Structure 1
Amino acid sequence: MDFPKTGSVIQIQSYKHNGFIHRVWEETVVLKGTSKVVIGGNDRILVKEADGRQWRTREPAICYFDANHWFNTIGMIRSDGIYYYCNLGSPFTWDEEALKYIDYDLDIKVYPDMTYKLLDEDEYEVHRKQMKYPEQIDHILERNVEELISWIHQRKGPFAPQFVEMWYERFLQYRL
């Protein structure tokens, strides 16, 4: 299977457990694309919601997707520091159309000082019942929330010092 080529522009699609589309990010530049990791950059891109609403992101961002973990991260570059929005979801797949994953509602917001907050637990409970998430999903997500928090504390992966800045510099090379 081919993976997105460095410098190519891809779409990112998130789905819900029931198979319905949740959200589409229109244009992300691939900065690294392998079977294990996709790192992308974008800035003020169009996002389409399942209900038809559209909006633009407000700042440059570096996205990190890992094939072995049930989470992905978006490092948003703001004037007062880097904020992270972490989605708990299935590992990514790539099918020539888009990078895809299933969004499981839970999110972690990380602030520039590396403090964090778990979000949307109520939404997770509602969807867990509505879409009949298997018990195995609960266990997987529980483990991955713990692992994600461990990465934040250890400043590992996309939380490592200079990770977002380094990949943003690379992203700027493709915007010229």
Structure 2
Amino acid sequence: MRVPKEGEFITIQSYKHDGNLHRIWRDTMVLKTSEHSLIGVNDHTLVIESDGRRWVTREPAIVYFHNKFWFNVIAMIRDNGVSYYCNLASPFLIDKEALKYIDYDLDIKVFPDGEKRLLDVDEYEAHRRKMNYPPEIDFILKENVKILVDWINHGKGPFSPEYIELWYGRYRQLSRK
């Protein structure tokens, strides 16, 4: 697996279980890589949907990917505080083209006041039947929802204020170079 360097820009591609491309983020700045994780930032980043629709992210967002956990985390830095969008997804991999993962529909949104919402349960169930998610995937995803909620409840990793401060500060340093 190719390891991008700090300050380098990469593309992120999400797919669905059936192999179809779901969404592309262009030019995500890498802030840190380790053996198991990648931290980056999107700031006014071009996003291309599978239907060709294009849009640009509105605010800086710290992105967290791990190659052991079945989720990724997007911490959106807004005027009213940090909101989190957590995708239940396969662990990531990186090749010459992009950072890639499979999006499994379920999402958890965390609002600045700490409120949590599990989203897209109906979409998950419809895709689980349509794309024949194996029972093992269903089990893994439900277990990772529990892990993710535990991280949120205990301010672990990307859910700690120190994490956001550290990585947003590093992004500001790198973007001034």
TM-score relative to the length of structure 1: 0.97
Aligned to 1:102: 102
Paired with 1:110 and 1:163, the residues of 2 have a C-alpha distance of 16
Match runs of 1:1-176 below 5 Å: 1-176=1-176
Q: Which runs of 5+ in 1 are unaligned?
A: none
SS of 2:161 mapped into structure 1: coil
Runs of 4+ in 1 over 2 A off after TM superposition: none
Q: Which runs of 5+ in 2 are unaligned?
A: none
SS of 1:162 mapped into structure 2: helix
Q: Which amino acid aligns with 1:175?
A: S
Paired with 1:9 and 1:172, the residues of 2 have a C-alpha distance of 15
Paired with 2:2 and 2:130, the residues of 1 have a C-alpha distance of 35
**In terms of mean alpha carbon deviation, does 33-42 or 63-72 score higher?**
33-42
Structure 1 position 2, deviation (Å): 2.9
SS of 1:155 mapped into structure 2: coil
Paired with 2:113 and 2:167, the residues of 1 have a C-alpha distance of 20
Paired with 2:144 and 2:63, the residues of 1 have a C-alpha distance of 18
SS of 1:132 mapped into structure 2: coil
TM-score relative to the length of structure 2: 0.97
Q: Number of residues paired by the alignment? A: 176
SS of 2:58 mapped into structure 1: coil
* Deviation digits for residues 133-170 of structure 1 (CA, Å, limit 9, x no counterpart): 00111100000001100000010010012211210110
Q: CA RMSD in A?
A: 0.8
